[in-house]
Amino acid sequence: MKKIQVGVVGATGYAGAEICRLILGHPEAELAAVSSVSFQGMALSEVYPAYYQICDMVCEDQETVVEKSDVIFAALPHGLSQELAAQCMEKGKVFIDMGADFRLESEELYTQWYGGSFQDQELHRQAVYGLPELFREKIKGRKLIANPGCYTTAVPLALAPALKAGLIQPEGIIADCKSGVTGAGRKPTQSNHYPELNEGFTAYKVANHRHTPEIEQTLSALAGQVVPVTFVPHLLPINRGILATCYARLAPQATEEAIWEAYHAMYDGEFFVRLLPKGQCANVKNVRFANYCDVSLFLDQRTGTFIAVSAIDNMVKGAAGQAVQNMNLAFGLDETSGLRLTPPAF
Amino acid sequence: MKKIQVGVVGATGYAGAEICRLILGHPEAELAAVSSVSFQGMALSEVYPAYYQICDMVCEDQETVVEKSDVIFAALPHGLSQELAAQCMEKGKVFIDMGADFRLESEELYTQWYGGSFQDQELHRQAVYGLPELFREKIKGRKLIANPGCYTTAVPLALAPALKAGLIQPEGIIADCKSGVTGAGRKPTQSNHYPELNEGFTAYKVANHRHTPEIEQTLSALAGQVVPVTFVPHLLPINRGILATCYARLAPQATEEAIWEAYHAMYDGEFFVRLLPKGQCANVKNVRFANYCDVSLFLDQRTGTFIAVSAIDNMVKGAAGQAVQNMNLAFGLDETSGLRLTPPAF
Amino acid sequence: MKKIQVGVVGATGYAGAEICRLILGHPEAELAAVSSVSFQGMALSEVYPAYYQICDMVCEDQETVVEKSDVIFAALPHGLSQELAAQCMEKGKVFIDMGADFRLESEELYTQWYGGSFQDQELHRQAVYGLPELFREKIKGRKLIANPGCYTTAVPLALAPALKAGLIQPEGIIADCKSGVTGAGRKPTQSNHYPELNEGFTAYKVANHRHTPEIEQTLSALAGQVVPVTFVPHLLPINRGILATCYARLAPQATEEAIWEAYHAMYDGEFFVRLLPKGQCANVKNVRFANYCDVSLFLDQRTGTFIAVSAIDNMVKGAAGQAVQNMNLAFGLDETSGLRLTPPAF
Amino acid sequence: MKKIQVGVVGATGYAGAEICRLILGHPEAELAAVSSVSFQGMALSEVYPAYYQICDMVCEDQETVVEKSDVIFAALPHGLSQELAAQCMEKGKVFIDMGADFRLESEELYTQWYGGSFQDQELHRQAVYGLPELFREKIKGRKLIANPGCYTTAVPLALAPALKAGLIQPEGIIADCKSGVTGAGRKPTQSNHYPELNEGFTAYKVANHRHTPEIEQTLSALAGQVVPVTFVPHLLPINRGILATCYARLAPQATEEAIWEAYHAMYDGEFFVRLLPKGQCANVKNVRFANYCDVSLFLDQRTGTFIAVSAIDNMVKGAAGQAVQNMNLAFGLDETSGLRLTPPAF
């Protein structure tokens, strides 16, 4: 059978480069073309020497990528995906957007947090939010998929079963998240300059990060009511990984048994969610380079607080891996195809 | 004037070694003797080659340290300080305990969290809790000082002004803390083995850490009522530093102005607390190797949540530096003597 | 076709755990059994939670591993492999030794550097040194393979073409090597305790490391004469990787063209050796988690010095990956089977 | 006595900021003014929040700094110091140049490696090379001091006694050096972007680094003949420190005793050079934030090779600390004034 032809627009950014790595190991898909505004005409392996002699494909322009591919992954700055998506829809291609343009259902929220507008309402109605563990049935066979952000994968997966089962209160949720540096992208900045970041640790965009409305949208859909979240991201001096430490007040009827039952019911059949045994805590170390989301649960009975800690690789389950998972769903493949990677032990 | 003669019991542990570093730069005190059970007879600089030709003092036994010193800093495993404290009191020495033996006022809590008992009630009545910014007047001239733990310095300093002024609710406080590895001490363990920790991040002792009752004791004293805290520590792959991200619900009457006023009123005169300008967030990077506690404030008006983020060097303001600050208070010196260190910029 | 049944003795050490990771992704082999003295009865994923729900195989005893497997990888302390090898030979199994017991041809050198003796001369005569790029034909179909050490892979691959072609002088070679921490194994030690290693860098076993005679044995075989090497290893504060910076005096007749020709001739057909374009330097970053050896060449015409810099992942090409490559050769598989892994770009 | 008024031109670069940190702790000098082209009008503590409330001095222009100061430290890009030096000489100020403009005695070499020319020959004749341990007497009381580079401090201090005593051969010297990232400055670049550097390690400017002629100039002065050096720098994923592993062939008459004697004779009286006991190796960890150069010696008798390993903090003994040491010499102060800092043990 002919392999799915994959195109990556923005292949020299971190998310794009990671998609390429995953597709290189995918049994049913192969790279057809890649593009990059900054590095057009250069080989991907000139930008990332790790790929030397493995993927020396030369960066072409966006149009060529669309032409050659069955599925286009777009890792573009916010606001630039809508036009490309429209082109892909016209040509019957599958479009998986790594950016935020199609994630929010509410144009008002999109305008408030990102400053742009919905250029084509119909296009936005076609889009589906690609968090397979929560919205799998809606994703299957779809052409336009908004791949979630990294925090917006880690936080909902930590809280979904408890929230859906009504075991925690929808008000007062706090998500204290810590991310590796690749989340900020490939472009050098003062704050990601090695000597500034190394041996340091701080919070950023406190209660003001763009992933806030996206997290709330998913949690509200699960709870069936508005769920406000206090979201504080921090920057870890490591390359990969997000740890989301989520706090919620226990609902009056919540018992420890009921909570574990809800999580087992929802996650025991999920290949990529690993519910850790009681007492163990999720660690970003254990999911690096792979598509797992580890989830661990704690109860602070003294204060009536439920604590769920989840870990993902921000570049895999938080970006490229989830995108490939969505591609698999869109094309009717085994959802785990190309993603059965073992995280290294060290 | 003769310098204060300083003895360090347990000098080859991290806290002990850091006290030695600070005393070596103190204009009014000098090292008289050091002891170590594991390294008796060896020079401190054999254990820490950084001190070679600067402090080649040989480790003696505990008795010799007590004999030669005006003040004894004891960095001992929990439970072992009480007898030594009694000896020091008898001989009229000042005793500053780096461990937990004298921190908790309630023997019941001590027994519950540490497993031991108060061996001498009178001794415990003499002890004062050495967090100078909150209890300065009680510390001055005292002989037996319980030096606070690291988390138990960072969390109360973040919340004290708001809590004291009634601007946050005493229930529902969450302290999500992240600590550098030196907090776990010098002894190699699997979890602190370089390849296991590096590029990893996790929480530990979730809602179950021994510093919990100590944090609650301090916050309750400030609030004048019981303040329960959900406390979750995490381990950062860096050497030094604690970042405490503290969440509390705003009291009904709290305004942003009132909060900033309360913090300025309490901290503007404090040499070691730096209240950061609005919009800036504390970073452990900026307090390394020095005795400062940086405090930053944020309001999430959307959810009615107050967020205070503080940063200290866990080995300085969280241990050795605060101990020297307490020594200065006990001997009537300028509180900042020997502690006017500039944190390196990188 | 039935997959090759793989056993790993010492599976909970770093080399053993890495072999397991690679075999889990191998299309023609599968894990049959694993053993561990320290963790017998425990699941591998209890020791390495990264493998949770992927490889929860329980550690058995050594005998069971031999029984169940077609090939046994032994990651044992030096001196303990000889007896096990004999057992495996008797039962017709393939035995791949990760330790040093069969690496040195000279018993005298073995005794001098490791302190033991050759227990069975015949067994040692059967052993072949498993560095495929240099000794491929000897390895094919063999039953007893001594897998090289990490430094002893990186240094010979950097120098082989120049040395074999007589373009560098065999005297005066210097190998200044830098290794990630996993090379020192899983057992916590003071020097690998996170706070001691982090932000530090030093050399160790200067001109006194056990890999010296092994490097010299390989280089001497290539040169056809005794090649003494000054070998100085350093410890890098990173998890994985070896960078070998090798210095040699140019032979009188050596030209830059001749050198590049020699390297192209030897390495252009080698899948796992990537000869970098002129001007680029090998970086351990680019080979992490994969089986490549990157080689880069420089000439210091001012001083008549040839400089070859190679990079490998010490746990893959320097241990587990090379072992799997040897297994492939021993069983007549495609040499790259299970090893076509793309190193992550970041 | 009035303190020496210190001006720092280019105070917001790493070297400039480190000079400020050291002057803030200097008992006989104080900051008079600082300048920065990029941050004029901003407080130093806005650029480096570590200095908040400690040094909130606002960056002025270069002229003001010259006017207000007795000594001017200039941390400028190469080529820009000559004019400023001339101005300072006219006004009778002491000028300490952190850049390379006055380091090389040979204009030909300067032009070859840096591309500029000597604008004022007389000025260059006045300049002295500020490596106090080797050229102390020439520095005392001078007005124009060229502060050495970082590698150019570490390598000569490692080899000086052996070379001066004729115990090593002047040909065939190899300096394999490894530097922390601060050596590359404050400006973000792709190669110093955190995710690119972290967990990586490579060499750069192999046998082609600008410090080569400066190292050779110093070694040649010591040997009394031309000393060519093969110099290969590497970039360590740590903030601070240089480790220089230097290789030389032993001279025929060299004995181990003679070598140790030569080092003791030269360094026993040097406050800032710590000759380590036999068997110990220098580690960048042990000199961080302080002005020491640790030197360790090894003999590879098998190959007739002498190995000297030195460690400095590239920003202190390799830049700002040595500059303050030179200031002390220029003003007739105790050479160690303001520099008696204990390197932290961890």
A150-166 per-position pLDDT tens digit: 999 999 999 999 999 99
pLDDT(A97) > 80: yes
Question: pLDDT, tens digit, for every residue of D153-207?
Answer: 999 999 999 999 999 999 999 999 999 999 999 999 999 999 999 999 999 999 9
> What pLDDT is stored for residue D78 in this prediction?
86
C196 pLDDT band, cuts 50/70/90, is very high
> What pLDDT is stored for residue C1 in this prediction?
72
Distance between CA atoms of residues C139 and C131, nearest Å: 8
Q: Please tell me the distance in Å from B208's CA to the nearest CA on chain A.
A: 8
CB contact under 8 A, D201 and C241: yes
Among chain C residues, the shortest Cα distance to D195 is held by: C346
Question: pLDDT, tens digit, for every residue of C217-274?
Answer: 999 999 999 999 999 999 999 999 999 999 999 999 999 999 999 999 999 999 999 9
Q: Which of D204, D307, D309 sits opposite C281 (nearest CB)?
A: D204
> What pLDDT is stored for residue D252 in this prediction?
95
> What pLDDT is stored for residue D189 in this prediction?
96
Mean pLDDT of A109-132: 96
The 3-state DSSP composition of chain B as helix, strand, coil percent (nearest 5) reads 35, 20, 40
Q: Which of C50, C294, C340 sits opposite A344 (nearest CB)?
A: C50
Mean pLDDT of C103-112: 97
Phi and psi dihedrals of C145, rounded to 5?
Answer: -120, 125
> What pLDDT is stored for residue A78 in this prediction?
86
Mean pLDDT of C294-303: 97
pLDDT(A39) > 80: yes
Question: pLDDT, tens digit, for every residue of A323-342?
Answer: 999 999 999 999 999 999 99
Per-chain mean pLDDT for chain A: 97
Question: D-chain residues within 8 Å CB-CB of A48?
Answer: none
Given the residues B20, B150, B177, B246, the one annotated as active site: B150
> What pLDDT is stored for residue D338 in this prediction?
98
Question: B-chain residues within 8 Å CB-CB of A247?
Answer: 174, 176, 230, 247
Question: D-chain residues within 8 Å CB-CB of C206?
Answer: 281, 298, 300, 307, 309
Question: pLDDT, tens digit, for every residue of A239-249?
Answer: 999 999 999 99
CB contact burial A35-67 (16+ within 10 A = b; e otherwise):
bbeebeeebbbbbbbbbbebbebbbbebeebbe
Distance between CA atoms of residues D281 and C191, nearest Å: 13
* DSSP collapsed to 3 states, chain D: CCCEEEEEECCCCHHHHHHHHHHHCCCCEEEEEEECCCCCCCEHHHHCHHHCCCCCCEEECHHHHHHHCCEEEECCCCCCHHHHHHHHHHCCCEEEECCCCCCCCCHHHHHHHHCCCCCCHHHHHHCEECCHHHHHHHHCCCCEEECCCCHHHHHHHHHHHHHHCCCECCCCEEEEEEECHHHHCCCCCCCCEHHHHCCCCEECCCCCCCHHHHHHHHHHHHHCCCCCEEEEEEECCCCCCEEEEEEEEECCCCCHHHHHHHHHHHHCCCCCEEECCCCCCCEHHHHCCCCCEEEEEEEECCCCEEEEEEEECCCHHHHHHHHHHHHHHHCCCCCCCCCCCCCCCC
ipTM value, please give it. 0.97
Mean pLDDT of D250-254: 96
Distance between CA atoms of residues B104 and B110, nearest Å: 6
- What is the number of CB-based contacts under 8 A between chain A and chain B? 153
pLDDT(D138) > 80: yes
Q: Which of A195, A199, A239 sits opposite D195 (nearest CB)?
A: A239
pLDDT(C164) > 90: yes
Lowest mean pLDDT among B277-286, C271-280, D76-85, D263-272: D76-85
Question: D-chain residues within 8 Å CB-CB of A49?
Answer: none
Nearest in space to C215 (alpha carbons), one of D168, D303, D282: D303
Question: pLDDT, tens digit, for every residue of C137-157?
Answer: 999 999 999 999 999 999 999
CB contact under 8 A, C198 and B238: yes
CB contact under 8 A, D239 and A190: no
Q: Which of B188, B190, B197 sits opposite C190 (nearest CB)?
A: B188
Q: Which residue would you say has higher pLDDT here, B78 or B334?
A: B334
pLDDT(A1) > 80: no
User: Which residues, 6+ apart, have CB-to-CB distance to B29 below 8 Å?
Assistant: B3, B4, B5, B6, B23, B71, B324, B327, B338
Question: B-chain residues within 8 Å CB-CB of D240?
Answer: 346
Residue C168 contacts residue C224 (beta carbons within 8 Å):
no
pLDDT(D264) > 90: yes
> What pLDDT is stored for residue B180 in this prediction?
98
What global pTM score does this model have? 0.98
CB contact under 8 A, C345 and A182: no
CB contact under 8 A, B186 and C193: yes
User: In the annotation, is A177 catalytic?
Assistant: no
Q: Please tell me the distance in Å from D120's CA to the nearest CA on chain C.
A: 30
pLDDT(B238) > 90: yes
Q: Which of D21, D199, D283 sits opposite B344 (nearest CB)?
A: D21
CB contact under 8 A, B234 and A178: yes
Distances (CA, A) of C192 to C51, C195, C280, D196, D331: 24, 8, 31, 24, 44
Express as a percent the part of chain D with pLDDT over 70.
100
> What pLDDT is stored for residue C78 in this prediction?
86
Q: Please tell me the distance in Å from C43's CA to the nearest CA on chain D.
A: 29
Question: pLDDT, tens digit, for every residue of B216-232?
Answer: 999 999 999 999 999 99
Q: How many CB atoms lie within 10 A of CB B143?
A: 17
* DSSP collapsed to 3 states, chain A: CCCEEEEEECCCCHHHHHHHHHHHCCCCEEEEEEECCCCCCCEHHHHCHHHCCCCCCEEECHHHHHHHCCEEEECCCCCCHHHHHHHHHHCCCEEEECCCCCCCCCHHHHHHHHCCCCCCHHHHHHCEECCHHHHHHHHCCCCEEECCCCHHHHHHHHHHHHHHCCCECCCCEEEEEEECHHHHCCCCCHHHEHHHHCCCCEECCCCCCCHHHHHHHHHHHHHCCCCCEEEEEEECCCCCCEEEEEEEEECCCCCHHHHHHHHHHHHCCCCCEEECCCCCCCEHHHHCCCCCEEEEEEEECCCCEEEEEEEECCCHHHHHHHHHHHHHHHCCCCCCCCCCCCCCCC
CB contact under 8 A, C188 and B186: no
Express as a percent the part of chain B with pLDDT over 70.
100
Per-chain mean pLDDT for chain D: 97
Question: pLDDT, tens digit, for every residue of D219-246?
Answer: 999 999 999 999 999 999 999 999 999 9
CB contact under 8 A, C239 and B195: yes
Distance between CA atoms of residues B345 and C237, nearest Å: 22
Question: D-chain residues within 8 Å CB-CB of A189?
Answer: 188
Question: pLDDT, tens digit, for every residue of A207-230?
Answer: 999 999 999 999 999 999 999 999
Question: pLDDT, tens digit, for every residue of D69-93?
Answer: 999 999 998 889 999 999 999 999 9
